[in-house]
Amino acid sequence: MAGSGGAAGAHREVPVGAFVVYCLSTLSSGDIGQVLRFRGEIAEEGGAMALTMTPLKTTGKMLSDTVGSPYKGVSTIGGKGEFSLELGEVAIPGEANAISGSDITLSGTKLLGVVQTPDQLCAELDAQLTQPFLYPLTTPGDVCLMLRTTDESLPETPAAIEFSCGGEAGTGGRVGTGGAGGEAGKAGGSGEAGAGGEGAQGGSDAGGGGSDVGSGGTEAGQGGSSGQAGGGGGGAPVCPPTEFGPLSQCDSPTKSACAACFCADEDTETDCRAKWEACLADEGCSKAVYCANQGCSVAQCASLAGSGLTKALAVRTCREKVCPQACKGNGGG
């Protein structure tokens, strides 16, 4: 999970009032147009913070443009302003889903975060997407910002760079973006941090406690004195790929292991064969799956999928549940 901010200037009082909650998940690949929005109401209950969230329509312009049922979590606020809100099962109607327009359900939903100022909170979203397909939202990068509002009209959605909880609590303004990793982290496929990449590791503390952003001269870093790619690294993948090979058809006489596993699966519950064939017919999905087969991350590959993202995630679920070993490091599939 992301860091919870520094102790300096920590806010331990319950920030009572109305908030707009913006959640940007890894499913959105950084696309601000796919942020999920909620009306948030924070109250004090027995000295603890109680947050009630209700989905906002994608077309909504006002704080009252809600849809669906509210859900509530209660948490104490720790000495560094940290909190852990358990929301349980969360149902979001399609009218509030800017990602695909489908009804979605999350189970085991938690918000693990920090009160950064009386007007701003930041939290990592931790949940399991169960409908319309299985997808874990349990790795760093699924972030919710809560910004106080005194107006019924909805403010502009924050920029993508602001969705990071690595900033120091109590500094005011928007969320800090964590430590500045070196430009050398952009070496990417080289497998080396590049000259100067190591020197950027200290940037992980620049955000006042952010533990993930900017450490080790990663891609997220903006600083760093030497932005050259490291030499060597052997056959490390280029992520996302710039060139794409074909995926194996089910009727191909030379199916690779992953395709063979999918194509042999006729279980009506998983129906991986149908999901595989649907992906083959979608260029964006095919590129995303090829990318995943090269060993690239979900976020890097999802950016290639476009409208085929739902199909690609369905294939990913099959990889994990039905054919994990066959599909691991399987090249073109």
Beta-sheet pairing, 135-137 with 120-131: antiparallel
Exposure string for 216-250, b = 16+ CB within 10 A, e = fewer: bbbebbbbbebbebbeeeeeebebbbeebeebbee
- Coil, strand or helix: which one is 86? strand
Query: At residue 218, does pLDDT exceed 50?
Result: no
* Domain residue spans of the chain: 17-162, 179-236, 257-327
State the CB neighbour count (10 A cutoff) for residue 297: 15
pTM of the model: 0.56
Task: Please give the angle made by the CA atoms of 85, 316 and 33, to the nearest 5 degrees.
Answer: 60
Q: What element of type H or E holds 145?
A: strand 143-148
pLDDT, averaged across the chain:
75
Model confidence at 316, pLDDT cuts 50, 70, 90, reads: confident
Statement: 17-162 belongs to CATH 1.10.760.10: no
Rounded mean pLDDT, 93-119: 93
